[in-house]
Amino acid sequence: MPLSGNEKYSYEIPLWGIRLLLIFCIFLSIGSGFLFYHFENWAGDAPIFIKWFILVVSLVFLTIAIQPKKWRPWVYFFVDKEGIYFPSECPTTNNTKWLNIAWSNIGNIKKEKFFDRTTGISVEIIVSQSEIDEYFRSVAMANKILGINQVRDGFFSIGYSNAFQNPQKTEKILNALKSKYT
């Protein structure tokens, strides 16, 4: 296990992953801009609103890519000897509130395949409905729409895709910390 001393772990999209995604947005913006500029050459009799839609797409991707506040890691949760901390928003800001779930309120931590066949990590936690509404509202809403039950044996189950992290390694680290501090 790579942790020692102050033993902290952060499950996040690392800075290099964010930069890769934002560079991809720049390329999409340039490509869309190229399509807009050469619209008459390739579109034939296509309606003109498509040309302007392509411009809007180009500007949206460019806007996403050039915002400096987006160029930092997205932390989904971090862990220390006290438990797991979940942010109220992602990406985090200076105003982000953190929910601390003590190790005693954490159930199974395991690598799972999700419904879209991606692999990730799932964590079962004991939380109140108000904490679900504040810290996990987007996940809870999406799963409600998809008909996915997030409650298992009294635990609220939250899943995270790989986020440029190795789910198997994350599972080992989290379970080792949980067994050490419970």
DSSP conformation letters of 58-111: HHHHHHHHH-GGGSS-EEEEEEETTEEEEESSSS--TT--EEEEEGGGEEEEEE
pLDDT at 34: 94
Residue 116 lies in a domain: yes
pLDDT at 37: 92
| Residue-number span of the structural domain to which 134 is assigned | 90-181
Low-confidence ranges of the chain (pLDDT < 50): 1-4
Residue 48 lies in a domain: no
Residue 124 lies in a domain: yes
pLDDT at 119: 85
pLDDT at 104: 95
pLDDT at 144: 65
What residues does 125 pair with on adjacent strands? 106, 156
In this prediction the pTM is 0.74
Crossing angle of helices 48-66 and 15-37, in 10° steps, is 150
pLDDT at 140: 65
pLDDT digits (tens, 9 = 90+) for 24-73: 999 999 999 999 999 988 888 889 999 999 999 999 999 988 886 667 77
Residue 94 lies in a domain: yes
pLDDT at 142: 62
Residue 120 lies in a domain: yes
Residue 139 lies in a domain: yes
| Contacts with 143 (C-beta within 8 Å, 6 or more apart), sequence order | 149, 150
pLDDT at 90: 77
pLDDT at 4: 47
Residue 136 lies in a domain: yes
Domains in the chain: how many in total?
Answer: 1
Residue 140 lies in a domain: yes
CA-CA-CA-CA torsion for 118, 124, 126, 130, nearest 10 degrees? 0
